[in-house]
Amino acid sequence: MIDLVDAFISQVLSHPTLPAVEHKGVSTSYEELSAFAFRIAGSIRNVASTPSPRVLLVLPHSTSAYAGMIGTLIAGGTFCPVNIDGPASRNAIITSTFSPDIILVEGTPPSFLDNAPATTPLVDLSRIGAHSLDGPSTDYSEIAYVAFTSGSSGEPKGVKIGRGAFSHFLTIAGSYFDLIPGERWAQFTDLNHDLAVMDVFLAVTQGGALVPLSSPKERLMPATAIKECGIAIWQSVPGVLDLMIRANQVSPDYLAPLRLMSFCGDKLYPDHLKMLFSARPDLQVFNTYGATETTGFNTINRLTSDNYRYSCEAATVALGDDVPGWTISLHGGDSVDEGEIVVSSDCLGLGYWRDEDRTRNAFRQLRPEGGEERRSYFTGDWGIRKNSRLYFSCRTDRQVKIWGERIELDEIDYLLRKAGFADAYTIVAEGVLHSFVESVNAVDQDRVRAQLSKSLSFHSIPKTIQSLQSLPRTNGKIDRRALERSVT
pLDDT, tens digit, 9 for 90 and up, residues 86-106: 889 999 999 999 999 999 999
The answer to whether 215-344+369-397 and 399-487 have equal CATH topology is: no
270 membership: H or E segment, kind and range? helix 270-279
Please tell me the distance from the alpha carbon of residue 377 to that of residue 66, in angstroms, as a whole number. 29
Least confident of 13-22, 123-132, 367-376, 441-450: 367-376
Distance separating alpha carbons of residues 58 and 84, to the nearest angstrom: 6
Q: Is 400 left (phi over 0), alpha (psi -120 to 50) or beta?
A: beta
Helices H / strands E in the chain, number of each: 15, 27
- Tell me what percent of the residues of the chain surpass a pLDDT of 70: 97
DSSP state of 307: T
Q: Residue 312: what residue type?
A: C
pLDDT at 397 (0 to 100): 77
pLDDT one-digit tens code per residue, 370-415? 677 899 999 999 999 999 999 998 788 777 888 888 788 888 988 9
Cβ neighbours of residue 309 under 8 Å, at least 6 residues apart?
Answer: none
How far apart CA 400 and CA 64 sit, in angstroms, is 32
Task: Give the chain's end-to-end CA distance (angstroms, integer).
Answer: 52
Whether residue 475 is predicted with pLDDT greater than 50 in this model: the reply is no
State yes or no: pLDDT of 486 exceeds 70. yes
Q: CATH topology for 399-487?
A: GMP Synthetase; Chain A, domain 3 (3.30.300)
Q: What is the pLDDT of residues 254-289, one digit of tens each?
A: 999 999 999 998 889 999 999 999 999 999 999 999
Tell me: domain 215-344+369-397, CATH 3.40.640.10, correct? no
Q: Report the largest interatomic distance among the alpha carbons of the chain, rounded to a whole angstrom.
A: 69
- Per-residue model confidence as pLDDT tens digits over 165-200: 999 999 999 999 999 999 999 999 999 999 999 999
Whether domain 1-213 has CATH 3.40.228.10: the reply is no
| Predicted TM-score of the model (pTM) | 0.88
Q: What is the DSSP letter of 190?
A: -
Smallest Cα–Cα separation from 416: which of 424, 407, 408, 405? 424
From residue 424, give the alpha-carbon distance in Å to each of 214, 284, 459, 466: 35, 44, 18, 10
CA 417 to chain centre: 28
The Cα 430–Cα 433 span in angstroms is 9
Residue spans of the domains in the chain: they are 1-213, 215-344+369-397, 399-487
